[in-house]
Amino acid sequence: MNPLREVFDHLDAFIVQMMQTYNTPGLIVALTDRENLLHVSAYGYADLERGIPVTPDTLFETGSDGKAFTALALLKQVEAGRLDLHAPLSTYLPCRPRQHFRALPHSR
């Protein structure tokens, strides 16, 4: 038996409780140790009207989550010295942004 089974069972119960509290129709949780997938659980429904359950293969829209991941990836490049946040965009992109995509002024 998996030594973490009891932990995963408690996590599953907690997630179900939180889904009820926050009226969340469905979600997937995947836990890793950075090298291996330890646990995957699918909860609720991908489509409430048709009663289609969430599975580990269900695709979800990420909404604004991508902004945080993009910012993190960019800041990692800054830390590595490969990106200057104050450089013109044209330094990194070969095309010129259209006029309405100009950067807004910011303070340092």
Query: Nearest CA to 25 among 6, 2, 5, 51?
Result: 51
55 vs 38, 73, 81, CA distance in Å? 17, 28, 41
90 labelled catalytic: no
Catalytic, out of 41, 64, 90, 107? 64
Distance CA 62, CA 15 (A): 19
| Bridge partners, 15 (sequence order) | none
List the catalytic residues: 64
